[in-house]
A and B are shown apart, each in its own frame.
Chain A
Amino acid sequence: MRVITGYMVRRNRGEEISMKPHLTAAAGGQKKSENQGDALGVNSEIGRKLKQYYDELVSEDVPDRFADLLRQLERSENQPSTAESGE
């Protein structure tokens, strides 16, 4: 019997999230988490929950105001009216 966690991850922006179902759990730390002594690897319950908790946060919709803010910052930089003007 296999443990399949298969959590739903809503994707909206480009960022990659690993959401492999843990079909290969028996193979042991197949990811880069190997160098973490597997203390928090995909094979530990804590490690899995931690990722599930975090992935849920990461996959939340991002309010437009952040993209707007960055556009504004870029725009204001391109018209060097104040202080030093970067080369």
Chain B
Amino acid sequence: MTMSEGSTFRQDLLAAIPSLRAFAMSLAQNADKADDLVQETLVKAWDKQASFQPGTNLKAWVFTILRNEFYSQMRKRGREVQDSDGLITARLAVHPSQQGKMDLDDFRAALETLPGDQREAIILIGASGFSYEEAAEICGCAVGTIKSRVSRARSRLQEMLAVSGEADYGPDAIATQVLGSNAA
């Protein structure tokens, strides 16, 4: 093996760390746990190096490893991975700020109440920039499953934060609604 191959792989892993940490935080919701998860992921990724197909999406590959690691840790700890739907939503009282514009803290709080599978789906699609196909691969499920999770997550966030997410262009959108939405 050549030094440069290893180095490239290392550089690529290094470059993936900020997004890995962000994904880990979204899953674990705790900075220390998230960083432990990232560390474990890097070690695993290094060990599995040979199974990575150069030219394919390294970020998706390490996300898959991190996600698997997260759920296997959860199982070991015997935690409930999934929150039961309505319970936490009911407990949450998010008051959107003026003008229907929500605060980032409101948003974070709302996001945290989502069931894990919905949260990871909406993060992968809406924030990490993966396609539905990639997200499905990362989560080991069907594309349709990801789509429905994203859509449920989105409706619940909208519900909790009381925003109309569809075409919020600011004041104009509101004006349009008031006038009876006939502007296509």
Q: Is B179 an interface residue (CB 8 A)?
A: no
B21-66 residues with Cβ-Cβ distance < 8 A to A are 21-22, 25-26, 35, 38-39, 42-43, 46, 50
Main SS of the interface on chain B? helix
Q: B151 to chain A: closest CB distance in Å?
A: 7
- Number of B residues whose C-beta is below 8 Å from A? 54
Main SS of the interface on chain A? helix
Q: Contact check: which of A13, A56, A60, A70 meets B46 at CB < 8 Å?
A: A70
Binary per-residue interface labels of chain B (1-15) against chain A in the complex, 1 for a CB within 8 Å, 0 otherwise: 101001100100111
B81-124 residues with Cβ-Cβ distance < 8 A to A are 100-102, 104, 107-108, 111, 122-123
**B residues neighboring A (CB under 8 Å):** 1, 3, 6-7, 10, 13-15, 17-19, 21-22, 25-26, 35, 38-39, 42-43, 46, 50, 100-102, 104, 107-108, 111, 122-123, 125-129, 131-132, 150-151, 154, 157-158, 161, 163-172
**A residues neighboring B (CB under 8 Å):** 1-3, 13-15, 25-26, 32, 35-36, 39-40, 43-47, 49-60, 62-63, 65-67, 69-71, 73-74, 77-78, 86-87
